[in-house]
Structure 1
Amino acid sequence: MEPEHWLSDLRVVIFDMDGTLYQDHTFMERYIRYLLEKTAAEPHTEEAVSLGMAILAGSHPVQCGHFYHAADDAVLVREAGRFVRALSWDGTELALRDDMAALTADEAALPEQLVPFGDPWGIAAVLGLRYKLPEEKRLEAFRRVREEMVREPYLFPTSRGLFEALAALTAIEKKVVMTNTYLESGLAFLHHMEIHHLFDEVYCGAEKPEGIARYITVLLAQGYKPEEILSVGDNGWNDLEPVRRLGGRTCLISPYASAESSRWDLRFTKLDELERLLRRIQQATTRRAAEYGQDRADQHLQEI
């Protein structure tokens, strides 16, 4: 869809961080290995790594955008808000029981037994659940891999062109970053990218999807219209679904196969596509401000 007819309406852009402002999946193999090492599941490490890589490559029936049914160790496939198929982890079609089909995934709060996975972080996390690893072990592996990613030799790559476009995006009223990552790591990543100062509001430990739904509700109460809000992220369920449900604009950016790409206003795979979008938003909103004789960048300023 060509968005020229709505870019100029935007007043708020909300960015996810991991997988959105940078792209990297090399951490996933280490993450899975850290999860399984020194556990009873360690003999399954190579199998788990191969599965994760196949999902990212789009060469497996299981895809990002599916849901893990923990009680049955099965993967559920959603279409148009309803679960229509069940798969084993090797891709074999399973019988979709009535109780599975009756589950809903169109609400902010999922049933406890359902876990969405839409990105490399989610795939690794679901594998930790699949092998019934204790929460302490899963948290240890998560923190370990994140701490590595801001140190040599595992520093994740960045896009200076994207960050320059982000800095130049001055004609909208709010640039917001929301990440579910805990505060210490979220700030470490933003400072490594040298972009913390480019945002009007920064939220770590954002508790998406519920957290972004609450934030959108606040924006609407402040007088913003749904169509004036754009959410950009690589995880459809966490970053985009709540915004779409409330009438906002959505952009999925991910180089990986996704089961639900058609649900979003825009679908990108590369950071340079996002860079071009930000420059187009700046041009469109600047042009509209000039036409209406106002500088929208000076409206609704607030400190954080």
Structure 2
Amino acid sequence: MDWLHEIEVVLFDLDGTLYQDGTFYKRYLELLFKEGSYAASLGEILEEMELVLEGRHTSSIGDWYYPSTDTWSRGEEVKVEPNQSAETPAIYAGDAWSLVSIFTVKHGIGEVKRQESFQQVRKEMLQGSSSFERHAGLYEAIRQLSGVRLKLLLTNSPENTGREFIAALGASELFTDIVYGAGKPVGMEHFMSELMKREGLRPEQILSIGDHAWNDLYPVRKLGGHTAWISAYPSSDTSPWDVRLTTLDELASFLVDIQQSKHKHI
């Protein structure tokens, strides 16, 4: 990768990028579907979720779900369905969080219930009630990444929950700035455009790292930036990301590579 020394700005995602947790979705779905008529479907939903994440389902990470027709499709461009409206937009299955969102929409669970369950899952993760773990090696690699001009964290999480979560990770001081409620993917494109104007940057000097391709990577690639996709799950998305990572160990090593490349070109 002969472009690493060019990187001046690294954009980080939060969920699935600064930490990985392969079990949180089980508790999330339990909170969403444990009551009323939904309870009978919980076992089937959990099983279907696991099949999708493992790549053993007809649908997978990287697909699009259309609520208006209860159908899935593959491909980078969103298809316009006959009954699709602003109230029922297509959902990109970018990660486990978005798969949970798909199941809530599919089964008619409202936004209030989803937000309540989300807040509870976040709280339990911080209390150690899941496989959620802080990755000291990754955070040290971010800290040591001094060769770039800016290290920025952009998350769609609202500030009231995101700030507490990032503080619990011990990651608050690792970044030049943290943007909450980033509104990705549209917000990512706007942010990068403004960043280039403000800092006098070329697109190829910016690298975005994230696990949700549609939110974190597509907008950056569209503008000519570099992309690194990190995910433990198989995907139907065949986009040519610059870097493909699976674990946080790999991400930490990649950041070390960037620092070493920058150092060599001083």
- TM tier relative to shorter chain: over 0.9
Contact 1:150–1:188, Cα closer than 8 Å, also in 2: no
- The one of 118, 131, 137 equivalent to 2:107 is 131
- The question of 1:75 aligning with 2:110 is answered no
Tell me which residue corresponds to 2:186: 210
Name the SS for the 1:23 alignment partner. Answer: coil
- The one of 21, 40, 47 equivalent to 2:37 is 40
Between 1:167-176 and 1:56-65, the stretch displaced more is 56-65
Name the SS for the 1:188 alignment partner. Answer: helix
For 2:105 and 2:120, locate their aligned partners in 1 and report how far apart those are by CA, in whole Å. Answer: 18
Tell me which residue corresponds to 1:141: 117
Name the SS for the 1:176 alignment partner. Answer: strand
**Structure 1: gaps of 5 or more residues:** 84-98, 104-109, 291-304
For 2:244 and 2:214, locate their aligned partners in 1 and report how far apart those are by CA, in whole Å. Answer: 14
- In our comparison, the structure showing a higher alpha carbon Rg is 1
Contact 2:189–2:220, Cα closer than 8 Å, also in 1: yes
Q: Letter of the aligned partner of 1:252 in structure 2? A: W
Instruction: Map 1:1-304; keep pairs closer than 5 Å.
Output: 3=1, 5-78=2-75, 81=77, 100=81, 112-154=88-130, 156-222=132-198, 223-288=200-265, 290=266
For 1:118 and 1:39, locate their aligned partners in 2 and report how far apart those are by CA, in whole Å. Answer: 29
Deviations 1:6-57 (A, max 9, x none): 0000000000010011111211011111111224322111111111111111
CA 1:286–1:111 in 2, change beyond 3 Å: closer, same or farther? farther
Q: CA deviation at 1:155?
A: 6.3
Contact 2:23–2:131, Cα closer than 8 Å, also in 1: no
Name the SS for the 1:71 alignment partner. Answer: coil
Q: CA deviation at 1:112?
A: 4.5
Name the SS for the 2:188 alignment partner. Answer: helix
CA 1:111–1:37 in 2, change beyond 3 Å: closer, same or farther? closer
For 1:155 and 1:188, locate their aligned partners in 2 and report how far apart those are by CA, in whole Å. Answer: 18
Deviations 1:162-213 (A, max 9, x none): 1111110011000001111111221122111111101001011111111111
For 1:172 and 1:160, locate their aligned partners in 2 and report how far apart those are by CA, in whole Å. Answer: 20
CA 1:39–1:208 in 2, change beyond 3 Å: closer, same or farther? farther
Contact 1:252–1:261, Cα closer than 8 Å, also in 2: no
TM-score by length of 2: 0.94
Tell me which residue corresponds to 1:96: none
Contact 1:30–1:145, Cα closer than 8 Å, also in 2: yes
Deviations 1:273-302 (A, max 9, x none): 1111101111111222x2xxxxxxxxxxxx
Q: Letter of the aligned partner of 1:234 in structure 2? A: D
Name the SS for the 2:208 alignment partner. Answer: strand
Name the SS for the 1:230 alignment partner. Answer: strand
Contact 2:153–2:177, Cα closer than 8 Å, also in 1: yes
Query: Identity across aligned pairs (percent)?
Result: 35
CA 1:50–1:63 in 2, change beyond 3 Å: closer, same or farther? same
Between 1:194-203 and 1:181-190, the stretch displaced more is 181-190
Name the count of aligned residue pairs. 263
